[in-house]
Structures are given as structure tokens and as C-alpha cells.
Structure 1
Amino acid sequence: MSEQSILPDYAAIVSDFIEQSCPMFFTNTDSHEVKLTQLQVSAELKKLNAEQKAKLTLYCMDLLCARKDFTSNDLANGDLLARGREDYSTKMYIPTYASFIRKAAINRSPQLGPAVITQYLLKYLLKLKLTLSNEELIILFESAKQLVPCDGGEKSPTIYAGDWAIKRIINQLSSNIKTNGLSDEIIEFINNYLSWRYFKTNGKAILAMKAQLFGLVNEGGSAMPLFELADDDVIADTIKNLIKVAAPPERDMLYRMLELSSGAKAGKPTAAFLEKSKGIIETNKDFFRESMHKILKQLCDAEPIEEAGDDGYTYHIFIDGDNIPIIKGLVWSSVQFHDETMIDLLTKLAEKSFKKIPGQGPMCVIVGNACLYTLANSKGLHGISQLSRLKYFIKQTNAKKIIDSYLQEEAEKRGIKAYEIEEIAVPDFGLQLGSREDEFDGYKLQLNLVSPGKTSLQWLTPEGKAQKTKPALIAKSKKLSDKLKTVQETNKQIQKFSSAQKERIDRCYVEDRVWDYETFREYYIDHGLVGPIAAKLIWNFSNGDQWEAAMLIDSEWLAADGSAISPPDRSTKVQLWHPISCTETEIVQWRARVNELEIRQPFKQAYREVYLLTDAEVITKSYSNRMAAHLLKQRQFKGITAGRSWKYSLINEYYHGSVARPACLRVPAYHLTAEFGINEVYVEDGNEPDGVNRYISTDQVKFIKDDGEVLDLVDVPDLVFSEIMRDVDLFVGVCSVGNDPEWSDTGVEQFSNYWEGYSFGDLNEMAKTRKSVLEMLVPKLKIRDQLRFDGKFLRVQGKLREYKIHIGSSNILMEPNDQYLCIVPSRASETKADKMYLPFEGDRGLSLVLSKAVLLADDHKIKDSTIISQISREN
């Protein structure tokens, strides 16, 4: 039948449809009249055969897509003639069709646009059984794209026909497949069609259509879950590849897990979520575990994707916002697994998620919190031990609070204190007194814990000789190569855990810890990881009212004078030694003993600063001004306070002094909180690009009881007062702009007097301790004859000039005119100083003073032109 011969039939259908539909669509009629009209229209459409109905369907779709805002006048004057498809010769239908539409729009209902009428007819047609070729189905699918706002070009479509049109075209495809089978052409087209951005949303109707399409064109009718994975992050490709290579049963399991996880919107998983995820995972636990290992490893190894924003800023995308619930749900579901690999990967991901991107914030707090939950709720103590370690390295205050709550919950389950659960959860990694050996077919790899955070690896031949490189046989054996990777990963874990244990033990002072000797022996002295750290510290022992201080030397507890103390037994109590409880003579004795044995303590103990109440603080009564009026670098202050478990929120340009922002440390053992007052500093151009103030000033230190009462300083326990003031002194000593050697050239002019006063002013307590150490070290140095002390300075006699290094700031003045010498420290110079014996870890200022002294003693050998020009310059 030719197109000319069927034209009157089409015209009659359209005419009848418009005449019947207009009053139904725009006037109030009862349901019987509506039903009657539908039947009449349906009866007219039945006069056409399936092929004709298909042609009319394509014709109506073509008109809707030709121009989305066409009017009756456009139809009347033939504007649409140039817009019709040539492939279906729709131009020949337009004049007749237009006359009926124009008649209906003007005479029946002026507000009824022809696009609405066309849509109404198309709805009926797509509900009928049509005979459509593959080419026609593809045209319908492609045309439907133009009826959706996201692909509407500059103007949104007049008719939002996306959902119903696509749904009904999918049904036509389903019917066609049942009759004619599935062609490669359709499979390829639909698989590409599924990547259309319309399907990148998580609307329920859209996802259902996507799942139906996927099921039609994929082998076995596998159902796609009702979720969408965003492409714009570091993990989407990994998950899609897992799905692509999985066998149908495993693929369906992944789909079900991803669908379930896509609804993970709460802070913690519900019991129902955990039950459902368990049921899905039980179908193939090994496959899910291996898949999660791959997903977590990719997240741990990947770097955020840089993306330019419309506002001109560059953003770093780690996990796309739409994918965060999915990753969170998968992490929660991993709580069923307790293998070492899973726990370690979750720990690494937690660490990475809380890592800050400058100017943007943590990479992904939501996923980080999910990792913390899973670690806390995994079986055994491995997850708890990792939480304890993370507590000392994650800087975010809220994350620390969450970790503390999980540790408290686990401790309460066991009827012990939170700090006790941290003790018993520390792994020993197979270490014996800080060492372990792993055998590789006769060769041995010896691992030694040198100091907290630092280890050494040494290969030994079958004959026991040291070897610098790994044996050649390892590269030839997958088994040995995998074993070496495991040892190397263990080595990294030992470094991280040993650093955390140093911090944990250091915080024992404000926790008022006392151990019975057996517990102390088990979790400290005899522990493979903690033992080497504890053995370098001084401990107090008591069997009554008196305390005896001792160190473990050659398996014996010896006092400062080298004599043995009373042997500890089961009734002995143990406490970490602090100099505040000792006389000056005892402190000097212990320092001499540590120096004599060249023991490098993991933190300052024998040389620990003691802060006693001053007369001025007795007068001010409830606050201390000792650390007030310092100018600090705020971001540096934020970082170091977090490292010492203080809580502090950054001040930004929107702050303007509206709310007090003290740094706070909760001291639960003494039922009080310490506050260090912080003020905003107004400086021109004094904000970072993200609006955070570069500088802050310091104020009073206060102690507040849990009930809100401000304590008089005389009522604060001496040890607590000393430790809090030591922390505050550390914050000032590290963050003060007075430490910046370049400040005189690049700093804010209005604070130049402060910089001058701090850089070369009186020594604080930490600087006084540093001077004591230098007085012990200088006589042992090769350059000792070129060094001498002059109050707050260490003088260095070089070949070209004489120099004065301030012991507090490490800044330098040159004789004879006190000309300032700017030397920006490098890691290489600090490494030289680190090779010297120092009685404790962690004083960067001490290393700087020593490294600068060594450099300037041979000033004639300096090659850095910026330093040479300053030394040679006349004032």
C-alpha cells in the first residue's frame, strides 16, 4: 500500500482523535464519557494495520521532535515543512494534519497547543502492538532523547515526555524481541544508550527503565539493580570492570550489593541493612571479599581527580558525591570479614579519607567514618588496635571523638577502661624485643625497630653475613616475592604503630595511670613492639608509700646511681616517672645517667620541662598570661594542637571576633578542661585563598571543671598544670612567626617588633632545656673549640665571621654589627644533626641549632650563593 493510499486513513484518525480528545482533555466530564471517548479513538486506530500504526507513531514522534515550541500558526503557514524527516516523508502528512490541529486549537480550546494533542495521540499509539523494524526502534529511542530536559538543548521541551515515552518504547522493544529475537545491532545500540546521561540519575522510574532495558539485551536476562554509578571519580572504573568480568551469578550478587549500598544514607547501618547485606554476601563470600580487597586497594592507591569549577577554583574529587553512599554501604558490609588484609585496607582508607586537601578539607569524611565503624565492629582486637593507632594520627577533632566513643564502647563490653583496651589491642607483629627474622630459602631478612617510627631491614646470607641487596632467588619465585611484600607491609605497620605507642605513653601523664607490675610487664616491658620503647623510659615503683625510680638496664631495674632497686613483685605498683615529683639533684642525676648510657628516649622525660606556678599567676588567680600576646601561624597551630589531642576550630574571614575560639583539651582523669585563648588578627591580605586567617594571637590559659566552674590555678594538680603549660609552650614555640627566618623580608611590617623580640628575646622553658642539652653535647663535638655560650646565644667562630645562634628560635645574628643572617633549613642539614647522639626524640629546634652551628663553623666551605652573599655583605 502506497503512502498516498493510506493518507486519508491517517487524516480521518487524526481528525476524529482531535474532535474526541479536546473536550475530554480540557473539560470536566465524568469517567463514563472519558472511557467512551477512549474506546472510540481505539476503535478508529484499529482500522489501521500494525505497519500503518507504526508509521503514524513515527510521524507523531517526528512532529514533537521537529520543533519543541511549534504553534498552530506554524502549522498553518507550513513552517514545519522544512523540519520534517526525509526518511519517513512526513512532509506529505503535515498539511492535512495541521489543518485539523489548527481547527481544534482555535475552535475547541484555544489554550490547547498542537504539541499537547500530538503527545496525547502518541501515548495511545505506543500502547498498541506495533510492527517496528530495528531501524524504527532506534529512531524512536533516539527521538525520545529530545523529549527530556537534560538533552533539550538551549530550550527545555514543551512536552516532558521522557519517562512515559521511553517506558513504552522499551515495551515495544520487548514485544519485538519476543517475535523476532535479539539482533547484534539492537544489543550494541542499547548498551550505548544505557550510558546516556538521562540514566545517570537515581530516580526510581528512570532506574527501573534502565534495569528493564539491561535485562532485555543481556544474556540470561540478568537484572540491573536500581542504582547508578557516577563516572567522575577514582573508583567507578574499578567497580565496572569487576562487574564486566564476573560470571552471571557473581555479577548479580554485585548488582544486589551495589543497589543495597546505594541507599546507605544514615550515619550508621541499620540492623536490617546488615542482615540484607549478610544474606547477599553469603551466596559467595570469597568472591565478595576479593572484590572488596580490589575496591579498597584502588581507593587507597588512587589520587584525587582535579576538576576546574565554574567559579574559577580547582577542585579535587576523590569519590563522587553520588558514589559516596555506595562506597559507604560496601565498607559497612565488610564488617563480616576480619582477615588482616581487609582490616589493614580499611585502616588505610580511613587514614586517606581524613587526609586534608589544602583549601578544600578532608578527602571524604563520610567514607572515613564508615571505615571507623567497620574497624570498631570487626571481630577480635585487630580493628580496635588500628583505631587506637589512628587516634594519634588523624587530625580531625570529630573523627577523634568518634574513635574515642568506639574505644569506650569496646572497653565497657569487657568491663575495663578505654586506655586499657588500647593497651591490650597493640599487636606485637612477631617481634621479640623489637626484632624479628623471616627466612627465604636459607637467606634471612632481619627487621629491627630502631626507634619509634624508624626500622631497619638487613639481609643475611645462609652463612650469616650481611648482604645489602635482596637475594636473586626472590625475583624468580612468586611465593618468595609475595612473602617479601608481606614483610615489607608489616615493616610499614611497625613504623606506624611504634609512633602511635610513643604518643600514647606520653599522654599517660594526664591520664593518672598506675599499673600493677604483672600487667605492666605483659603489655609494656615484655611486649615485642612496646618493650623497646618502654625500656628507654624511667619508671616509678612502689610497694607502699614510697616510690623508687629506675630504668631497665641489662634486664635489671637500676636507679640513677646504678644501684638495683627492690625487686618488683605482684604487689608492686608502677607509674611513669615525671621530673615534677623530684628534686633538682635527682633530675640532674637522671640526665647524667641517660647521657652516660647514650640512651635516646622516645620523648622528653629526663629532660622534660617543668612548669610551676609563678607569683604573677597566683595574683591573677584563675588564669595565666604566661603564653599570651604571641603571633602564631594559624594552620600550623591547628595541625599541632590536633596532634596533641586538643580541639580547635579555624578562624576565617567571616568570623570577625563574633565568638571566642579557644583551643581546648579535655582531661577526663581530673574532670576538667584546659582552655588556651585565641584571638583573631586583622592583617591586610591576611587570609588564605579559602578565607582562613593566616595569623592568630594568643591569650589566657584557664582550667574549667566539668560543672563549668573556672578553677583557681592553685587548685590545679601540679602535674596537670605543668603538662598543659608545656603543651601550650610547644604550640607557641613551633607556630610563632618569630621562628620564621624569612619573616624580616616577607612578614607583616606591623609585627616586626614582635618578630625581633621573639627571635632574639629571653629563652622560654623549652629553650632552657635545649640549652642544657647543648651544654652537654658541645664538648663532644669536633667543632667544640669554635663554640661558646653567651646567655641566650650559641656563638660560632667561623673562618669569615662570628655568629650568634639564638637557642630558642635558631635565628642568627652576625658580628660585629648584629646583621641578620637568613638560612632556610633543609632536610639534609637536619639529617646531619640527627646522626649525633641526642638524649630524646622530637626536638626539631635542637637539630636546627646544631646543624647551623656545624654549617657556620666551616663558613668558608659554604656553596649556597644566597648565604654567601649575606655573609660577604657589609652593613
Structure 2
Amino acid sequence: MAPTAQHPQQVAELKRRLTSGDSVAVMEQLVVLAEASHGAWGFGGPSVKDVLHPLPGPRKQELLGQLLDQARTARGAAGADHLFELAEWLVRRLSLPDPGDAIALVLEVEGQRWMCHDPSLVSTAWGLLDLGRELPADFLAMMRRTVTGSYRPKEFPALLAKVPAQPLLNLGEAWSDRVLADVAELGQPWYDLVAHAATATSTKITKAFEARGRALLDAVGMDKAAVVLTGWLSLVGRPRTRPVVRRHYDSDVNELFDPVNATVLRGLIWLAGLLPPQPDLARLLGAIVDTSLRKAAGVGPRSPKIANTAVHTLARVDSDDALAQIARLAARVTFKGTLKELNTALDTRAAALGLSRAEVEELAVPTYGLTEVGLRVDHFGDVRAETTVGADGVRTTWFAANGHPVKAAPAAVRRDHADELRELKAAGKDIDKMVTAQSERLDRQFLAQRTWTYPAWRARYLDHPLLGTLARRLIWLVGEQAVAWSDGGLTTVDGTAVTPGDGAEVRLWHPIGRPVEEVLAWRERLERDLVVQPFKQAHREVYLLTAAEENTRTYSNRYAAHVLRQHQFHALAAIRGWRNRLRLMVDDEYPPATRELPEWGLRAEFWVEGLGQEYGDDTTESGAYLRLATDQVRFYAADAPEHSAHAGGGGYHLGWRGRPGDGIPLEQVPPLVFSEVMRDVDLFVGVASVGNDPTWQDGGPDGRFADYWASYSFGELTATAQTRRDLLRRLVPRLAIADRATVEDRFLVVRGDLRTYRIHLGSGNILMSPNDQYLCIVPNQRADSGSGGVFLPFEGDRVLAVILSKAMLLARDTAITDPTITHQLRR
């Protein structure tokens, strides 16, 4: 990419700052140049290189250090890789008295990369070794990482084979740094233990590894090993202590696990699994799965290898704590490989106990010390801590010896009960994770058609100290009678107490098939009693066949012709239990997004295709489409052949361009199945559509999507948006801005002092008077964390929270200070 027209002036400014001797100002100008000139350091007259070349050696060396610090700090920011390239050029122009110092400095700079495939570096490294010097730690780490890759110059392994006494681990990760420091202090038995961990090259622990590992753990002492190993593992996933410079074509490598260290880490996890069972270990292994599957930009999960190792180890630990972590992860993990391992672990445990998989998932939920539904009480001497679990999350309140509440744990508790306090805080975090996982699992029970006998349901759900916090905010069917928790017992919608018999059957209530009067009555009761359901149930959307779908018979076009952000859609599909593959701009075939419905003997397909033809504009750097075009929703028998379509479109087919198979007539799909599948697709469109992006008023790249954006942003409401509208009609009169807000057709209309605003109930985008001018307000990414103090009878509708926050803001438009908004209001 060519430099900008301002480049000569910017170089002149750099020269002036160099003359002034202000190092901070010099670096600021180099950052400007790196961003503006895209690293064209030799361009122009004079160029940046022309200006730097005459500097004396000590000044060059000082500047080099500053460049490297800046490049490390900036990491993936614009221009960071170009600063590194300038550092590479500069280091080769230093004249140092000791040739070994010069070579070492060159290798130190090269060691700032994640990997390198330049074989010429080998001769430079040999030059340093021939002088009797050691290779710089960062360079050695970079070389070792490189040889773990699929492409590695043949010269690299030969060089590494000649490097004596290589460290057990690469520096640069918080846990590996701690291991190396501790081993140096603890002595040879611990060195032997870590060296044994480095032999963990198989996918699962072997008998030989286990036997040797137990002997080494006995040598250092099991109690000591428990403390040290859990201390090491608790640091896994922390930010790199020695960030590498991210080149402009690299993925977010600083988020990855060092592949050299990963083998040792797997061995340490195996060794930890040989320790006596303990709650801290199970919690720690669950956290390692979470952090290992956290996605890094351009790569995907950071380390599935480590995630799977932690799952295997949890499966080997015979404790309720380990089983609870497996159950929690199985409800949350979407990465297919790890989810398969979790499912296998649960199925194996279920078979061993003679229970169904569903029963094991329910029985595995721990109480976390809660002695009654939603309450845990801990005593620390005369001080009391009460932890409550409810719709507002997990909260701990402290009470002093006199019984008065205090803001935080008193100093005496922190001093005299440090271990117990740490356990309380860890339990609070575990509870929060488990509640989220169990809420999602319960939401999936509609299609699973899970039923319970009344005594089993009461014990596992209604009276369970943790699950009861969810069950008591939901509606249940006892036989065919709808009930919910109120005033210490089960009642009907009108408040009549119900006492089911032991033979009664219980299942989750779903609005489909229920009388409209009953559905509305439950909504009114929840809103009156300020009950926040963990997911939409009473307000759940119901999708019935339309006349158009009756005409098309075997497919629905209800959500066709939308433009979705592919990566957001892919993530949502995984969360909702759909199988999907990211589409690349390549000559390849892809199956549709698919949801298996084994309980019904069915499979749902959502046909989507890659959108765009320009590599780079329509794709990520790795070639994945940025956007998808949507098409039909179809249903097939579970064992029916699967369709596929070319990555770039052309329609779905069977086999080699065969016509699509006839789907099951939509009228034959059970109404509950049809409604839940269509609800998922509505969610995908409602969340991932580019029409939701307030910055796309211009239609995106080259204005190609202007018509779609306009039609979606202010068009007809989907079922989800209609539910949102119905709720707002009841909520608006209770709002502080009730005298300024009304619901009209597709909009929430808000009257400010400067303008009147119409907020679309589907997209959240805004039109303002006069003449329906568009108002762009980009919502805070944390808008889904609350609703501005407004009561909502269910969790999870981020667009509704955004609409309410915008309404509150615009009702007081004269108080707005954000210049990006005030400029539009006064145009």
C-alpha cells in the first residue's frame, strides 16, 4: 500500500524531534509514520531510513530498545508490525565492538516473533554458538515454536539439536514462568516431575505415565504437590508476560498457548488428576477448559488440546465436584471436539450409575453450600456472610458482630479466615457459571420433552438449593394444570393452591397449544409480581404456519433474503445446538446449518450461502466470508441424505448436483418443533443481520446493501419484535418517561425537547423528526447487562434493553453531551 501524501512532512517532523532529543516525541512520530506510511520506511526523499542512518551507534541502540518496547506494547494495533520491521532494519546497522553482542542483538530482535521460517537465521545463530555464547531466550523460544508447526525449515531442528541444556519450558506465559522459577528453587525432584510432564505426547494418559507420575508425586509429597500444582495451573490462560509482536498478516498469536509449553501443561494436568480429589482441583480443571476454548481472532479456540486434556482428567476423578464441572461444561461448551468428549464422559458416568444421561445431569448439580433455596450463610467468628442467588445474580452481604450490614468483608475476616474467604469467593463464581449453564439446559428441555414424577421433580428442581432459584421462576404443567411457585407453594394462575399427588407427571409449560387467555394471564401475573424468568417462557414467541408456508408445503421462506454476519451467526448457531461450518471463499461444498431433533426423528435445515465475490472486502484475511445470504428452512427425517451447496452459492442439492430432496410437509411437523426451530432462525436473523448495525446507513461496502438495510431497519416486525411490542405496551405506562413515550405500530415513539424519535422495535434503529432523518447511536456493548433499572419479566433480550436505554436517553435529549449525537440533532 502506498504512503500518504503527508509522508514528506511527517519525515521532516521526525528529523526535528530527533534533533530536539525528546525520545517520547520521537516515538510518537514514528508511530504516526508507521500507521500513515504502512511501513514504507525507505520511501521519499529523505526517507525515514535516510534520517535514521546517520545517527551515532549509541543513539541507534537506544532507539532500537524504544522501538521494541513500543512494538511489544502495541502488539496487534495498527502499525505495530511496521515498527518491528524498522527495528529489524535498525539492528543490522549497529556497529558494536563485540561481534557476539551484535549477533545476539539481531537474534533478540528476531525472537520477538511468534514463529519464523527464514532459514538464513540459522547461519546467524551458528555464528553466536561458535563464539561460545548462548542463544537469546526469546529467539530460542521462537525457534522451538516454529519446529512444532507444519512448515519448518529443515535447518531449524538440526540447530536446536546442537543447543545444550534447553529449558523445560519457554518463557513468556505466566504459568511457565512460575514453573521455571519454582523448579529452580525446589530442586531436582521437582525438575524430574516437570521433565516427566514433558513426555505427555499421547492424547490420553498411559499406564506407564501414570505409574512413573505416582512415584514422582510420592517423592515430592502429595500434600506439597497439591499446593504447587494447583498454584501453577491457576495461572493458565493469563496474558503473556513476554508479548510477541503481531505481524500484520498474523492471527492474534498473543492469545494462543505456546505449543512447546502445551505438552508440558498436558502432563501437569494428568499429574494433578493423580492427586486425591479436592474441590479446588475440579474447579480449576473446569476453568482451564473455559480458558482453553476462548476464541482468539483468526484462529478459533486457543487450545482444544488442553481443553480435551482437562476433560479427560475430570472424567477420571471420582468425585461429585468433578461430575458437576463436566455437567456444567456440557451445557455450555460449543466446540464440537470437546463437547464430544464431555458427552462421552457423561454417558459413561450414566451407564456406570445405571441412570439416564438426563438424570445424571440433574443429579450432578451441587448445592455449593446453599442450605435453602437461594441462600448460603457462612460464619467467620462473630461475622456473618449471607450469599443469595436470584434474578439479580449472586450477591454476598456481610454483617458485623452487632448484626448491622457492612460493605465488605471486615479486616479481621481477611486476616484470620483467608482460606475460608477465598473458598466463599470461588464458590460465588462457580454458582454464577452453573446458574447460566443450567438456565440454558432448561431452555432446551422444551424440545427434549423431559418429564418427571412429582417427587423426583420436587427434589431435583423445586426444592434444590440452586436449581430451585430457576424452577421457582418458571411455569410448570402438573398433568395438564399450569402452576408456578408463589407464597411458599404451587399455585394456579389465579392463585389457587395446588398439592399434586406423588403419581403426578411434571413437565415445562410452553405457550403453544395453550389457550390465549391462559398465556396472557400468566404474563400479567409475572409482570404484576415482578418475577424475572431466566429465559422467555410466558412471553415466548409462538410460530404458526402462515398461508405462504401452506402453499410452499415443504419449506419456509419466512427468513429468506436476509444478510447475516457470518461469524456472529456461527456462534449463535452453536449456542442453540445447531451444527454449522464457517464458509470460506474456496471451491468447496458446505452442508446447511442443521439442528438434529432425535427425540422427534427429525432434522431441521437452514439454507445459507456465502455472500460476495471480492477476496478481502467480502472475507476475512483467512478467506472466511464476512456475510451470508439466507434462504429456506426445511425439515427432513433424521436419516435422510444431507444437502450441500457450493461455498459461493448456486443452490442446495443432493449428491452431484441432484435436485433437493422433498422435505417433510410443514403441516406434518409437530407444532412445538416447528415453533422452536423457527424461533431459533428468528433469533439468528434478529441478532446477526447487518440491518441491526446503526453504522450501516450507507449500505455497507460500496453501498451494496443499502436497500436491504433500509427495509430491515424499519420494516415489518418479526415474531420476536411483535412480542417486544406487546410487552412495551404494558411497560411504557410504568416508565419514568411515560408522559413522553408511546408504542405506535412498529416503533416506540419518544418525544424529546429537541426532536421526536421513532425507535424501530425490531432493529433498534432510530428515525427523528422532521422528515424521518436517521439518527445513528451505537449502543454500548454492555447494553445487555441491564435495562436501566426497568423491570423486564425475562432475561436475554439485548435489543429490548438497547431500545429502552435509547428511549431514556432521547427523552432528555437536551442533556445529551456526546458530540457524535448532538451533531446529528442540530443538523
Q: TM-score range by the shorter chain?
A: 0.7 to 0.9
Inter-partner Cα distance in structure 1 for 2:510 and 2:760: 28
Amino acid at match of 2:285: L
Inter-partner Cα distance in structure 2 for 1:259 and 1:828: 45
- 1:687-766 matched pairs, under 5 angstroms: 687-708=619-640, 710-745=663-698, 747-748=700-701, 749-766=703-720
Equivalent residues of 2:758, 2:767 under 8 A apart: yes
Inter-partner Cα distance in structure 1 for 2:489 and 2:136: 77
Residue 811 of structure 2 corresponds to 857
- 1:234-273 matched pairs, under 5 angstroms: 234-248=174-188, 250-251=189-190, 254-255=191-192, 257-273=193-209
1:409 aligned counterpart, secondary structure: helix
Inter-partner Cα distance in structure 2 for 1:379 and 1:303: 33
Residue 655 of structure 2 corresponds to none
Residue 492 of structure 2 corresponds to 559
Structure 2 counterpart of 1:489, from 416, 421, 426: 426
Shift in CA distance, 513/629, structure 1 to aligned 2, threshold 3 Å: same
Q: Which runs of 5+ in 2 are unaligned?
A: 1-118, 149-155, 642-662
Inter-partner Cα distance in structure 1 for 2:133 and 2:711: 74
Structure 1 counterpart of 2:763, from 806, 809, 812: 809
Equivalent residues of 2:532, 2:793 under 8 A apart: yes
Residue 412 of structure 1 corresponds to 351
Residue 589 of structure 2 corresponds to 659
Inter-partner Cα distance in structure 1 for 2:737 and 2:122: 79
Residue 323 of structure 1 corresponds to 261
Structure 2 counterpart of 1:773, from 709, 727, 733: 727
2:236 is aligned with 1:299? yes
Inter-partner Cα distance in structure 1 for 2:305 and 2:203: 8
- 1:588-603 matched pairs, under 5 angstroms: 588-603=520-535
Deviation at 1:837, TM superposition (A): 1.1
Structure 1 counterpart of 2:402, from 440, 456, 463: 463
Residue 65 of structure 1 corresponds to none
1:153 aligned counterpart, secondary structure: helix
Inter-partner Cα distance in structure 1 for 2:233 and 2:687: 36
Deviation at 1:362, TM superposition (A): 1.7
Structure 1 counterpart of 2:741, from 772, 787, 790: 787
2:530 is aligned with 1:530? no
Q: Deviations over 1:524-568 (max 9, x none)?
A: 1111111011001000002xxxx1000011222111122223x21
Residue 78 of structure 2 corresponds to none
Shift in CA distance, 519/305, structure 1 to aligned 2, threshold 3 Å: farther
Which moved further from structure 2: 821-830 or 748-757? 821-830
Inter-partner Cα distance in structure 2 for 1:156 and 1:191: 10
Shift in CA distance, 197/631, structure 1 to aligned 2, threshold 3 Å: closer
Amino acid at match of 1:733: G
2:211 is aligned with 1:275? yes
Inter-partner Cα distance in structure 2 for 1:441 and 1:614: 65
Shift in CA distance, 329/205, structure 1 to aligned 2, threshold 3 Å: farther
Deviation at 1:762, TM superposition (A): 0.5
Inter-partner Cα distance in structure 1 for 2:475 and 2:568: 32
Deviation at 1:446, TM superposition (A): 1.5
Inter-partner Cα distance in structure 1 for 2:395 and 2:491: 29
Deviation at 1:193, TM superposition (A): 12
Equivalent residues of 1:305, 1:316 under 8 A apart: no
Equivalent residues of 1:821, 1:870 under 8 A apart: yes
Residue 411 of structure 2 corresponds to 472
Q: Deviations over 1:641-668 (max 9, x none)?
A: 2222222221223x35x31342222223
Equivalent residues of 1:804, 1:812 under 8 A apart: yes
- Pairwise CA RMSD of aligned residues? 3.1
Deviation at 1:407, TM superposition (A): 1.4
Shift in CA distance, 262/730, structure 1 to aligned 2, threshold 3 Å: same
Inter-partner Cα distance in structure 2 for 1:853 and 1:266: 57
Amino acid at match of 1:271: K
- 1:641-652 matched pairs, under 5 angstroms: 641-652=573-584
- Flag the structure with higher helix content: 1
Shift in CA distance, 694/462, structure 1 to aligned 2, threshold 3 Å: same
Which moved further from structure 2: 764-773 or 305-314? 305-314
Deviation at 1:150, TM superposition (A): 11
Residue 272 of structure 2 corresponds to 334
Residue 622 of structure 1 corresponds to 554
Structure 1 counterpart of 2:600, from 643, 665, 670: 670
Q: Deviations over 1:341-399 (max 9, x none)?
A: 11111111111111111122221111111011111221122222112222343342322
Deviation at 1:295, TM superposition (A): 1.7
- 1:52-451 matched pairs, under 5 angstroms: 153=123, 228-231=168-171, 233-248=173-188, 250-251=189-190, 254-255=191-192, 257-283=193-219, 284-303=221-240, 306-308=243-245, 312-313=249-250, 315-316=253-254, 318-337=256-275, 338-431=277-370, 432-451=372-391
Inter-partner Cα distance in structure 2 for 1:310 and 1:780: 54
Deviation at 1:501, TM superposition (A): 1.1
Shift in CA distance, 812/310, structure 1 to aligned 2, threshold 3 Å: closer
* Paired positions, count: 669
Amino acid at match of 1:637: F
2:773 is aligned with 1:819? yes
2:473 is aligned with 1:549? no
Deviation at 1:784, TM superposition (A): 1.7
Shift in CA distance, 245/507, structure 1 to aligned 2, threshold 3 Å: same
Structure whose CA Rg is larger = 1
Inter-partner Cα distance in structure 2 for 1:787 and 1:228: 66
Shift in CA distance, 260/773, structure 1 to aligned 2, threshold 3 Å: same
1:731 aligned counterpart, secondary structure: helix
Deviation at 1:865, TM superposition (A): 2.0
Deviation at 1:194, TM superposition (A): 12
Deviation at 1:289, TM superposition (A): 2.1
TM-score by length of 2: 0.76
Deviation at 1:607, TM superposition (A): 0.5
Inter-partner Cα distance in structure 2 for 1:777 and 1:229: 59
Inter-partner Cα distance in structure 2 for 1:516 and 1:351: 34
